[in-house]
Amino acid sequence: MRNLWKWLGLAGAVGVATGGVLIARDQRQRKAYSADDVRERLHQRLAEVDTAGGEDERT
């Protein structure tokens, strides 16, 4: 029974470490965009929403 708890504890620690790595990688990717890149992407997304969703709301 002791070995079971040791393995569960180890698995939990590995899960926490993996989550930290994924969050750090996501942050690095997000910071890689310049302000102009972010602005351009937001304008693109807004234009897509206006063309796709705007027709449904008006009718």
Domain assignment present for 52: yes
pLDDT of residue 31: 83
* pLDDT bucket at 54, cuts 50 / 70 / 90: low
* Within-domain flag for 22: no
Structure tokens at 36: 């102009």
Domain total for the chain?
1
Q: 57 in a domain, yes or no?
A: yes
Q: Is the pLDDT assigned to residue 11 strictly greater than 90?
A: yes
Residue 23: inside a domain: no
Mean pLDDT of the chain, nearest integer: 87
At which residue do the structure tokens 């079971």 appear? 4
Q: Is position 56 within any domain?
A: yes
pLDDT at 59: 46
Q: What is the mean pLDDT of residues 19-23?
A: 95
Tell me what the mean pLDDT of segment 19-32 comes to: 90
Q: What secondary structure letter does DSSP report for 33?
A: S
Domain that holds residue 50: 34-59
Does residue 41 form part of some domain? yes
Cα distance between residue 35 and residue 43, in whole Å: 12
Q: At residue 6, what is the residue type? A: K
Looking at beta carbons, which pairs linking 9-18 to residues 24 or more positions away fall under 8 Å? none
Give the pLDDT mean for 15-42. Answer: 91
